[in-house]
A and B are shown apart, each in its own frame.
Chain A
Amino acid sequence: ETGVTQSPTHLIKTRGQQVTLRCSSQSGHNTVSWYQQALGQGPQFIFQYYREEENGRGNFPPRFSGLQFPNYSSELNVNALELDDSALYLCASSLQTREQYFGPGTRLTVT
């Protein structure tokens, strides 16, 4: 059984640029959630996708958007990057909302 994978591991972007992060969910899981974890803080919920539809959103602006594909993999897109977007971005997959399994994260640095 393959766990949750994320790519890339690290990336560095410049303020104002756009970035796409990718996540492959665990086999059999139909729900993907994205979190932002700033340094020294707990993960903050960005949004969740269930069967290719957004199924809940946290307190993040519209420049944070996402997609889920038929194979349940997912993308997180962030436009007009700001310095405060620097964080570890975590993807988690689950069957519905319970018992989420997390990937290793993507470390985004915005300069």
Chain B
Amino acid sequence: AQSVTQPDIHITVSEGASLELRCNYSYGATPYLFWYVQSPGQGLQLLLKYFSGDTLVQGIKGFEAEFKRSQSSFNLRKPSVHWSDAAEYFCAVVSDGQNFVFGPGTRLSVLP
């Protein structure tokens, strides 16, 4: 069965600092990979996705993620964090004919 791990439950960074959120998945083939963001009490917003091709994908709000097959990872990055980025971030994986599996999430706090 597919699984997604996000090793960091909570990360705190200062505004303007760089950010990397980790995501590892367990699946035999290359799945489709996603990052979603959730503000308190809200639904999930799609940040970016990877289906195939270039392993570095750009998303909204200045986020990017890199797919590394050898490490089964899809880490999310942002060069300079803004206070409005404080939220919960979820990595998700899906394969054809299957359904989304989400990681447990990483809560991001931003210090002024």
Residues of A within 8 A of B (CB): 4, 6, 33, 35, 41-45, 48, 56, 58, 90, 92, 97-105, 107
Contacts and interface: CB of A to CB of B under 8 A. Distances in A.
Contacts of A43: 44, 90, 100, 102
A33 B105 contact: no
A90 B98 contact: no
Given A42-B4, A45-B99, A98-B51, 18 more contacts: A6-B43, A35-B102, A41-B104, A42-B103, A43-B100, A43-B102, A45-B100, A45-B101, A92-B100, A97-B97, A97-B99, A98-B32, A98-B49, A98-B94, A99-B49, A102-B43, A102-B45, A103-B43
B36 A102 contact: yes
| Residue among B36, B41, B100, B103 with max Cβ neighbours from chain A (10 Å) | B100
Contacts of A101: 46
| Residue among B90, B102, B104 with max Cβ neighbours from chain A (10 Å) | B102
A97 B99 CA distance: 7
Interface in B28-75: 32, 34, 36, 41-46, 49, 51
B102 A97 contact: no
Contacts of A6: 43
Nearest to A96: B96
Given A43-B44, A102-B44, A105-B43, A56 B99 contact: yes
| Residue among A33, A41, A90, A102 with max Cβ neighbours from chain B (10 Å) | A102
A6 B96 CA distance: 26
Contact of B90 (A42, A92, A97, A99): A42
